[in-house]
Chain A
């Protein structure tokens, strides 16, 4: 499979042109050099070509997952973790008891325990913050991280989209000012495949052929009647392309039955199958896959564990643990792990305190995001929170810093400026990557 062909070539071209210019004609106009010259990025660059973001919608409780603390009691409303902690493969790092498989591969993971921002009241705004890497502003519609990756890296292969979302379409996952080209292709259900690309089940191959024959006749006639302006031509090309796509190798990516049954089982339920699909998408060249863990029927609230939502939270955690560990090991087996950054993201954490029905509210002053693969130096926890996980003790990682880390891992300069019309917008909002992950 050819990867990066275009991007490396483009990069080579640029560097080369710069060299030619300097060598042959050193006649740069003085005034121009001042604003044309850009400082080389001071940031370390990683090795990843793909990113999978597992999204825990609702705000996953860090003290009940990746940052365990002393146990509390929901009934007496004594603050603390809801579960016991267990050791991991890395000495000194503990996680919740319902994350045993992840614990066993802790050497391939980094838990960033000090992510923080100030948006807690409203899920929408916090989700936006954790997808665009910055606070909202009244005038600019910021692109999501998936769209920035799509825009900067493009698809890794021909015939695949750069950005696929397995979850509900929404604004904060969208391309913002980058426009539809940097948008996602979405599906909500691994069984059904991407919306709009799979013919309905009652249209079998023979019907599809008949349909196409009829349509091709109408198309040919239409153009033959003298309708051959640019607009029609482009749309007609679109029809042709969509027909190709429907029967293409890209669509076969969604056929999970191609995988061995044992592997499918190791991934677990629908969320696991989504993770497996994510691996297949990455393998075929998709740059960014967001996988939503929104299986709210397990506990009603999903990760937004107010009130009784807390009671079955372990069901969510186990499902995540299972699928996540399976994904990491599967990527490793396919030699994709070093080139694929896996992120477990969420909009905020939850406080150690319990509400009057044993659930938890929102907490954004410190929460955990997990990074795995992507060629980073793993097996560590970045930052530390206090004895109840409420405040940061050291090494805070702001949202822009977290995003800069992801961008650097993906070989994207976080200081690069994108343009919303005439307005320059940096890829990350002044973030600085967590350098220890890149060292060595």
Chain B
């Protein structure tokens, strides 16, 4: 443990000891009760009273200092007596868990103070003692705050002293005077943390000192280097946080060495297993197909097939036409597709489907044959498309069919309504089409996109944001022929890689934490574990095994995945999620009955649920569709289980995985969870690796080989060979997802220019790249990067002063990246419970399809464009903050720097759109900015004095039921809406021009698309 100490010696004079589980009274009965609670918690039950008025239980007491009989659970060093959080704790698999409260926190340092009178200031959230050489100098007592929300708002005057950092919510302060003798003494700070089930948070824990004649306080032990002011503390915390992150990562990796060795064995086995399988060799392709790696061969072979087929078909069509026959594929299908299928396809308006001959002949609600082969006059289709009656004609909206089209339909029906569908199997290619043939059939793969578009695409796809100026410059300056591969390698090493994977898994795994008391299907915040897993590039089989094992703590680790509050069968909900995410088995229906359109039985789902539960599950009555609800319903749904039936923890999907792992690789074969994880992730599982690879492909191309990606049962796989090949690559390379990504990103296929035409087949063949709109997170993060702004948000927490147990209030911290946000759903409708800063971002995220609440897994976000999206970017508060040049806006500083106006224009375009302006744009923008450019900066002597932002007392759950708390939040919301005042440094007219130019850039459609 000591090995984890990052740094020691003079720079880190403070030694911290952490003693966990220090409850003073240890009643065996209590302990037992604790166990029980834990068991039911683990099942996700949330039976505790959620009454907002709950009265706090008696405060848990902590063993007093001096009488500690055990060694500290953790020892580390700090730079000074300033502590913003505890270091994280990890179990032996490297999974995060919470420190076991209540804890005693003790910080000690031997220091020499200058001779004379010093003032010493102690800030703490919980009871604390400060000692010198073991003698008590001061005690600080935690605020007396009841837990019920009816506490008064604290007066701001109590909190503010201009020289000293503002109070953190719930903190108390003690100032004492100390006359130092100029000799070394040992100073000790002790406090309790995480009492009574509270989050193990420190608030702001600090001891600061002001020496003789000094006004400012500095952190004790910092050699007067860390000023205890708002800014000084922020700087100190930033530096400490960076150090803690390194320390945490070291501990995480160090603790799990044993586990890592196990996975090395697993991967050796996977390689051995793979060696026994038939290797999939990439097919040969003709010269017309550009090839950078194996991916392009598989893709190219399919394109060649399709091209040859198009050539054949066109010949057949010509023949048919020469006989006067209507050709379904070429002449009828397009009419149906563009006029009918939008409603009479999947949607079955009026129960009618026109996507197969059988269904069309069957007709719909209108109870007539839509299609009577050979008899257009009896076919309702013809009647409706030719009618003039606005009450019946089809299509009901938009363009009427032309005479030519209706005539074609009539002739086609007359000729027997033949419905030829192309053969989906690949033809045995006897030859490779030439480039000319590919061109004629419009299937010639597009060339690679230009360098800057590629850089923007690959940066967004890997690290989730647009490239910055330095990244663009470095890429442009690189003359190497493999510069794209180099960029890909750099991006795969970038820690932001993890930031971009978190939102994906949040959706697919239905991560759904709630900062206001758990509600329906809330989970723990296992986002942090996802993030760390991808920071560490955890192999995918290990990632999924961790998830299934639900280890660590439910509030921070994958155990949080195991939670589903207010759900009658949490593990069934989890089985449904795992099935879709990793097996491509859609079990949504099976939650309450046997699936009507799938082979999955309800029992299968509950088998998995029981494996997760590690014991048989009795089917809750509420998880069975009652028989009377089935009566009269289309007899599609069957129920083969009864309430109370006991379902065994056995693996149900033998067609997917026959036998799990060799005995030697099972650590505890009796554990149903391990058995489940083994079945899910073993190399012999025919699905797992393919499903993972399919998700990756879908992320990079906007569509998977299998769609929907979470439901493979009836799927047409567009590229089965490539899918199998990439799956083998994953299995054969230690389940390292980066290996597969590297292959894909280096392919010509990935790097192609965007396909402009609407040609569904060409798109499905990946002839060109399909343009994707950025995800909500990419938009928010990229816009901040483009404008050098940080997300400005309050802590995502309702219990800022840390008074309530963690099982009621979690703390999601202060977001730096968009994935860190969560639903702010304020079901209580109280102004005092709003988070007005966060709401600004959540509005934008939600407009672009992000879901703050994920009660069910999301395999595909809503991609539809709606008017609120551009409107929010145009007028919303986030955009106002990004485009208004205030004193603190980094672009104000940029605008003030000396440079040619043309250079500024160039920088603005590169920062936002990732490319230099073209001639016309350059002219427009220079015209916009050149007027008044030379004297845009207001001389220092003429600047007005800065306005101090208004400050408010804190509002937390503990005081939110006071009138004032509601008024404060309303006032904050109004301040945010007004935004920071425009800068005093730039002349108004020029500033407005610059702001407007910036506004137009970030509102350009180009901004929000992955090029």
Enumerate chain A interface residues (CB-CB to B < 8 A): 9-10, 12-14, 16-18, 20-22, 24-29, 32, 35-36, 55, 57-58, 121-125, 127-128, 136-139, 141, 167-172, 179-181, 185, 188-189, 192, 195-200, 202, 207, 210-211, 214-215, 217-219, 221-222, 225-232, 234-239, 241-243, 245-246, 292, 294, 296-302, 304, 306-309, 355, 361-362, 421-424
A to B CB contacts below 8 Å, 21 in the list: A36-B365, A121-B50, A121-B51, A122-B51, A124-B517, A124-B828, A138-B572, A170-B825, A172-B827, A210-B996, A215-B999, A218-B1006, A221-B921, A222-B1006, A230-B758, A231-B771, A238-B867, A238-B869, A241-B870, A294-B829, A299-B963
Given A196-B875, A229-B771, A421-B588, A217-B921 contact (CB < 8 Å):
yes
Contact (Cβ within 8 A) B1009 A128? no
| Partner among A138, A297, A299, A307 whose Cβ is within 8 Å of the Cβ of B567 | A138
Given A179-B862, A241-B867, A215-B378 contact (CB < 8 Å):
no
| Partner among A123, A304, A422 whose Cβ is within 8 Å of the Cβ of B596 | A422
Q: Which residues of A contact B967 (CB under 8 A)?
A: 297
Contact (Cβ within 8 A) B368 A297? no
- Complex interface: stretch among B65-73, B419-427, B830-838: B830-838
| Partner among B53, B865, B1004 whose Cβ is within 8 Å of the Cβ of A218 | B1004
Is B970 an interface residue when CB atoms closer than 8 A count as contact?
yes
Bound form: Cα–Cα A36–B757 in Å: 40
B741-792: which residues lie under 8 A (CB-CB) from chain A? 754-758, 770-773
B772-830: which residues lie under 8 A (CB-CB) from chain A? 772-773, 823-830
Is B576 an interface residue when CB atoms closer than 8 A count as contact?
yes
Bound form: Cα–Cα A215–B961 in Å: 46
Given A196-B875, A307-B150, A229-B755 contact (CB < 8 Å):
yes
Contact (Cβ within 8 A) A219 B1005? yes
Q: Which residues of B contact A172 (CB under 8 A)?
A: 825, 827
Is B165 an interface residue when CB atoms closer than 8 A count as contact?
no
Contact (Cβ within 8 A) A246 B829? no
Contact (Cβ within 8 A) B1005 A222? yes
| Partner among A29, A122, A169 whose Cβ is within 8 Å of the Cβ of B362 | A29
Chain A residue nearest to B352 in the complex (CB): A17
Given A36-B351, A211-B999, A307-B150, A217-B392 contact (CB < 8 Å):
no
Given A57-B829, A124-B516, A230-B758, A196-B924 contact (CB < 8 Å):
no
Q: Which residues of A contact B197 (CB under 8 A)?
A: none
Bound form: Cα–Cα A294–B967 in Å: 12
Is B490 an interface residue when CB atoms closer than 8 A count as contact?
no
B358-401: which residues lie under 8 A (CB-CB) from chain A? 362-363, 365-369, 378, 380, 383, 390-392, 396
CB distance from B6 to the nearest CB of A (A): 42
Q: Which residues of B contact A362 (CB under 8 A)?
A: 51
Contact (Cβ within 8 A) B391 A13? yes
Bound form: Cα–Cα A198–B365 in Å: 45
Is B874 an interface residue when CB atoms closer than 8 A count as contact?
yes
Contact (Cβ within 8 A) A136 B520? yes
Bound form: Cα–Cα A124–B396 in Å: 42
CB distance from B345 to the nearest CB of A (A): 15
Is B679 an interface residue when CB atoms closer than 8 A count as contact?
no
Total count of chain B residues near the partner, CB < 8 A: 122
Is B568 an interface residue when CB atoms closer than 8 A count as contact?
yes
| Partner among A167, A200, A227 whose Cβ is within 8 Å of the Cβ of B829 | A167
Is B872 an interface residue when CB atoms closer than 8 A count as contact?
yes
Is B1001 an interface residue when CB atoms closer than 8 A count as contact?
yes
Bound form: Cα–Cα A57–B832 in Å: 13
| Partner among A12, A29, A242 whose Cβ is within 8 Å of the Cβ of B867 | A242
Bound form: Cα–Cα A235–B754 in Å: 16
Q: Which residues of A contact B862 (CB under 8 A)?
A: 179-180
Contact (Cβ within 8 A) A196 B567? no
Instruction: Pick from A32, A139, A306, A309 the residue with the most CB of B within 10 Å.
Output: A139
- Chain B 859-871 against A: per-residue CB contact (8 Å), 1 yes, 0 no? 0001011111111
Bound form: Cα–Cα A302–B833 in Å: 12
| Partner among A57, A239, A361 whose Cβ is within 8 Å of the Cβ of B1005 | A239
Contact (Cβ within 8 A) A20 B366? yes
Known contacts A235-B865, A242-B871, A242-B874, then 17 further A-B pairs from the complex at CB < 8 Å, ordered by chain A residue:
A14-B350, A20-B383, A128-B519, A128-B520, A138-B520, A138-B623, A168-B826, A170-B829, A199-B874, A200-B875, A227-B1006, A242-B870, A294-B829, A304-B961, A309-B961, A421-B588, A424-B633
Bound form: Cα–Cα A357–B573 in Å: 42
Chain A residue nearest to B875 in the complex (CB): A199
Q: Which residues of B contact A236 (CB under 8 A)?
A: 1005
Q: Which residues of A contact B214 (CB under 8 A)?
A: none
Given A18-B367, A21-B365, A139-B391 contact (CB < 8 Å):
no
Is B618 an interface residue when CB atoms closer than 8 A count as contact?
no
| Partner among A10, A13, A214 whose Cβ is within 8 Å of the Cβ of B1000 | A214
Contact (Cβ within 8 A) A121 B875? no
Contact (Cβ within 8 A) A125 B368? no
Q: Which residues of A contact B369 (CB under 8 A)?
A: 25, 27
CB distance from A31 to the nearest CB of B (A): 10
Bound form: Cα–Cα A196–B392 in Å: 40
Contact (Cβ within 8 A) B826 A301? no
- Chain B 914-938 against A: per-residue CB contact (8 Å), 1 yes, 0 no? 0000101100100010000000000
CB distance from A11 to the nearest CB of B (A): 10
- Chain B 985-1011 against A: per-residue CB contact (8 Å), 1 yes, 0 no? 000000011001101110111101100
Enumerate chain B interface residues (CB-CB to A < 8 A): 49-53, 148, 150, 350-351, 362-363, 365-369, 378, 380, 383, 390-392, 396, 516-517, 519-521, 564, 566-570, 572-573, 576, 588-589, 591-592, 596-597, 622-623, 633-635, 754-758, 770-773, 823-832, 834, 839, 843, 846-847, 849, 853, 855-856, 862, 864-872, 874-877, 880, 884, 918, 920-921, 924, 928, 961-967, 970, 973, 977, 979, 982, 992-993, 996-997, 999-1001, 1003-1006, 1008-1009
Q: Which residues of B contact A298 (CB under 8 A)?
A: 963
Bound form: Cα–Cα A17–B366 in Å: 5
Contact (Cβ within 8 A) A214 B150? no
Bound form: Cα–Cα A171–B854 in Å: 10
Given A214-B924, A231-B773, A170-B826 contact (CB < 8 Å):
yes
Q: Which residues of A contact B970 (CB under 8 A)?
A: 297
Q: Which residues of B contact A137 (CB under 8 A)?
A: 622
CB distance from B581 to the nearest CB of A (A): 16
Instruction: Pick from B366, B391, B576 the residue with the most CB of A within 10 Å.
Output: B366
The list of the 5 closest CB pairs from A to B, nearest first, reads A57-B829, A21-B367, A214-B1000, A21-B366, A242-B871
Given A21-B368, A122-B517, A304-B828, A231-B772 contact (CB < 8 Å):
yes
Contact (Cβ within 8 A) B966 A171? no
Contact (Cβ within 8 A) B1004 A215? yes
Chain B residue nearest to A347 in the complex (CB): B827
Q: Which residues of A contact B1006 (CB under 8 A)?
A: 218, 222, 227
| Partner among B591, B825, B865, B1000 whose Cβ is within 8 Å of the Cβ of A169 | B825
Given A17-B365, A139-B573, A219-B1004, A302-B870 contact (CB < 8 Å):
no
Bound form: Cα–Cα A123–B52 in Å: 9
Contact (Cβ within 8 A) B51 A195? no
Contact (Cβ within 8 A) A195 B843? yes
Q: Which residues of B contact A228 (CB under 8 A)?
A: 756
Contact (Cβ within 8 A) A58 B1005? no
CB distance from A199 to the nearest CB of B (A): 5
Q: Which residues of B contact A207 (CB under 8 A)?
A: 992, 996
| Partner among A18, A136, A235, A294 whose Cβ is within 8 Å of the Cβ of B870 | A235
Q: Which residues of B contact A215 (CB under 8 A)?
A: 999-1000, 1003-1004
Chain B residue nearest to A180 in the complex (CB): B862
CB distance from A80 to the nearest CB of B (A): 21
Q: Which residues of B contact A297 (CB under 8 A)?
A: 831, 963-964, 966-967, 970
Contact (Cβ within 8 A) B566 A125? yes
Contact (Cβ within 8 A) A200 B979? yes
Chain B residue nearest to A10 in the complex (CB): B396
CB distance from A234 to the nearest CB of B (A): 4
Contact (Cβ within 8 A) A13 B392? yes
